[in-house]
Chains A and B, each alone.
Chain A
Amino acid sequence: MPLPSEKEEIWRYSPIDAFDLDRYVPVGEEQRDRPIQSGRSSASWIAPEELAPGIVAVTANGWLQRVDRVEAPGSVVVRSALDLDASPPAFGAVLSDVDAFVCMNDAFHPGSVVLEVPAGVQMDAPIVVVHLVEPEGLDGAPAIFPRMTVEVGEGARARLVELLVARSDPGVALVVPVTELRVGEKGDLSYVAVQQLGTRTWHIARLCGEVEREGRLRTLTVGLGATYDRSRSDVTAKGEGAATELRSAYFGSDTQVHDVRTIQEHAAPRTTSDLLCKGAVAQESRSIYSGLIRIRHGATKSNAMQTNHNLVLDQRSHADSVPNLDIEENDVRCSHASSVGPIDEDQRYYIESRGVPPERAERLIVLGFFDDLIDRSPMPEAMTAVRRQIGERVVRALASRSAPPGDVCD
């Protein structure tokens, strides 16, 4: 299978043509229990008391190392597919729309991390999976393939957080996660993924969701780290009355590229989908959003919304936004909206006229820009940390551009 090229619509505007596969070596079995190097990790930013998790699992370079249960119903299980008699049947990405990166994950992933929430079981405490990426000490530039498979049974409810973090000073790495989420009839899953990898890492992620009749899936992906950060979410409302909500946020600085692709597919009548994607780019960073609403034949009375807003903070930063519709049915409601622009001068003038110094005014405006997304996120308790991270990034990006770094923190 060839590597994708920028000529394909789903890779348009991306730097994929500059991708050098030969540079990377997949991490092998010998990495399963290797000790981790010392050094400050970007893991140190989400406090346990903020999330109050019910289950915490840790993977290192893709291998599931440990699962701790704080408080969880006994029937809710997180384990490695290596401990099961058979791998859970693939769905989503591996079947519907395979590309070279999904293929690679399929070939090299070190056993899926499997989360099962049986029918009727309701668990409110978040299940947290921390994926640690530690390229230091490996031979060559490692390619790491985390894989996660989630089954939420009929009438079950669960909340899952995946954190993708780098340990110590990270070298060059390729991280290709695939996450498959299945929500059964009247099931309910909230999902948050936060990517905070090292500054020389390529992150190419695929998220696939399927929702059965009257089920609900809410997702949020947050892109903070990596040099190229791509997050593609394909979510299908499969059964009648199924509802999906997609949220995405990114903040870019330096020469980062954030690339968010979404597909909201409606395959049954009376399904709803609601997408909100917001990002800000500073310095020489750029972002791409492209999204597709696809209403399949027969999905009458479906209702789909798609909104993408971008804040461009510097002259040299850039954002592309491409919303698309593909509608094969009548009697549906679809709306899309998209905007790209700098900070509103009236807002800036208003805030500064109240005595707020310029740098702080800008930080307030950027955080305010993200606040409506944060308010509409599937997991409010995860957002305090995310908001704090975005705030710190804004402060750093602004400080680097004003000559003497002034008093920009509060």
Chain B
Amino acid sequence: MGERVVLCAIDDLSPGEARRFDVAGARIALVRIGDEFFAIGDRCSHEDYPLSEGEVWTDTCEIECPRHGSTFDLRTGAPSSLPATQPVPVYDVVIEDGNVSVVLP
């Protein structure tokens, strides 16, 4: 079991919002869809660019890189459209006492 790091309170992020967090050397994009939270690496695997600045697609549970338009599945980190071909890392999210934490590997 890896290290658990608190990122923010549940209410800090509104539904459909993405935000970048730098914790313990990892760059994480935390995304809220409804009451669910997803954490993925905040670097597009195609070109180093923050995914947290991209659009969140709540209907398909994806985030779109603002640079070249690749979308990534927030659950698996896999790219669902070109030009990216490689996945981004996915982190487990734990919600406890009104706080959102990620589990670092």
- Report which A residues bind B (CB closer than 8 A): 35-41, 43-49, 51, 53, 56-58, 60, 65-66, 68, 70, 128, 130, 132, 163, 165, 167
Name which of A41, A53, A167 has the most chain B CB atoms within 10 A of its CB: A41
Whether A68 lies near B83 (C-beta < 8 A) is yes
A67 to B, closest residue via Cβ? B83
Bound together, the chains give a CA A39 to CA B54 distance in angstroms of 8
- Interface of B toward A, CB cutoff 8 Å: 46-47, 53-55, 57, 62, 64, 66-71, 78-85
Establish whether residues A38 and B55, one from each chain, have CB atoms under 8 Å apart when the complex forms.
Answer: yes
Known contacts A40-B57, A68-B46; A132 and B68 CB within 8 A of each other: yes
Q: Judge whether A41 and B85 touch: CB under 8 Å.
A: no
Q: Which residues of A contact B53 (CB under 8 A)?
A: 38
Whole-angstrom distance between the alpha carbons of A378 and B57 in the complex?
Answer: 33
Q: How far is the CB of B47 from chain A (nearest CB, A)?
A: 6
Identify the closest chain B residue to A128 (Cβ): B82
Q: Is A38's CB under 8 angstroms from B79's CB? A: no
> 26 A–B contact pairs at CB < 8 A?
A35-B66, A36-B68, A40-B57, A40-B64, A41-B64, A43-B68, A44-B69, A44-B80, A44-B81, A46-B81, A47-B81, A48-B79, A48-B84, A53-B82, A56-B46, A56-B85, A65-B68, A66-B46, A66-B47, A66-B68, A68-B83, A68-B85, A70-B85, A130-B82, A130-B83, A165-B69
Which residues of chain B have C-beta atoms less than 8 A from A39's C-beta? 55
| Residues in chain B near residue A38, CB distance under 8 A | 53-55, 64, 66
Query: Contacts of A37 on B, CB cut-off 8 Å?
Result: 66
Contact of A45 among B66, B78, B81, B84 (CB under 8 A): B81
Residues of B within 8 A of A53 (CB): 82, 85
- B residues less than 8 Å from A56 (CB atoms): 46, 82-83, 85
**In the complex, what residues of B have CB within 8 A of residue A51's CB?**
82
